Chains A and B, each alone.
Chain A
Amino acid sequence: AQSVAQPEDQVNVAEGNPLTVKCTYSVSGNPYLFWYVQYPNRGLQFLLKYITGDNLVKGSYGFEAEFNKSQTSFHLKKPSALVSDSALYFCAVRPFGQNFVFGPGTRLSVLP
């Protein structure tokens, strides 16, 4: 079965410090990889994606993610966290020609 794991339910980080939100996946083939963010009472907003090419992809709001094929991981990172980054983050994979599979989500809290 295809699955996405986000091993941390909650990540706390101090403002200004770097942050990492982890994601690993188990799918067949070479899926497309995505990160989405959900603010309270809002839908999901697209942050970034990996399709092919450079393993480090840059996205919105200063976020980036690193694809590691051997570890089947796609961790989300930001060099310097902001309080406004506090939200729920979802990793998602999309096997080619198939629907999205979303991870369980990680709640990020950035403390002032």
Chain B
Amino acid sequence: SAVISQKPSRDICQRGTSLTIQCQVDSQVTMMFWYRQQPGQSLTLIATANQGSEATYESGFVIDKFPISRPNLTFSTLTVSNMSPEDSSIYLCSVEDPGRTNTEAFFGQGTRLTVV
């Protein structure tokens, strides 16, 4: 399994500003995933972050709004840019079991973002 630490755990931000969320994993992983969970809804994949290459974004998500960094195999950041109240969500970092494929995913505790 993998232990994932996300920071911050929650934040309240002014509209128009940006927030960077950090995700640290206790082991090296090939792919890291960023999800959004809007209030009362399920998880939606934002993008897949691979080390050494640009992130792959899902339909409806763009790099200008959600820039992602992946400087090494244990760390990634997601920035929510030019925030609006509609960005208020829980943002979750996820990884797969290191060394295995197509297995369960492990999640950080999430970042609860409120935009006012």
Q: Which residues of A contact B (CB under 8 A)?
A: 32, 34, 36, 41-46, 49, 90, 94, 96-97, 99-100, 102-105
Chain B 5-39 per-residue mask, 1 if CB under 8 angstroms from chain A, else 0: 01001000000000000000000000001000000
Q: Which residues of chain A are within 8 angstroms of B104 by Cβ–Cβ distance?
A: 34, 46, 49
Q: How far is the CB of B74 from chain A (nearest CB, A)?
A: 17
**A41-B110, A46-B105 known, 10 other contacts, Cβ within 8 Å:** A41-B9, A41-B112, A42-B110, A43-B4, A43-B110, A49-B103, A90-B43, A100-B105, A102-B43, A104-B42
Q: Which residues of B contact A (CB under 8 A)?
A: 4, 6, 9, 33, 41-43, 45, 48, 92, 94, 102-110, 112
Q: Which residues of chain A are within 8 angstroms of B6 by Cβ–Cβ distance?
A: 43
Q: Are B42 and A43 in contact (CB under 8 A)?
A: no
Q: Is the interface of B mostly helix, strand, loop or mixed?
A: strand
Q: How far is the CB of B6 from chain A (nearest CB, A)?
A: 8
Residue of B nearest to A45 (CB): B107
Q: How far is the CB of A7 from chain B (nearest CB, A)?
A: 14
Q: Which residues of chain A are within 8 angstroms of B45 by Cβ–Cβ distance?
A: 99-100
Task: List 12 A–B pairs whose Cβ atoms lie within 8 Å, in order of A's numbering.
Answer: A32-B103, A36-B107, A41-B112, A42-B109, A43-B107, A43-B108, A44-B43, A44-B94, A46-B105, A99-B33, A100-B45, A105-B41
Q: Which residues of chain A are within 8 angstroms of B41 by Cβ–Cβ distance?
A: 104-105
Q: Are B92 and A99 in contact (CB under 8 A)?
A: no
Q: How far is the CA of A78 from the CA of B94 in the complex (A)?
A: 27
Q: Are B102 and A94 in contact (CB under 8 A)?
A: yes
Q: Are B42 and A99 in contact (CB under 8 A)?
A: no
Q: Are A44 and B107 in contact (CB under 8 A)?
A: yes
Q: How far is the CB of B35 from chain A (nearest CB, A)?
A: 8
Q: Are B102 and A96 in contact (CB under 8 A)?
A: yes
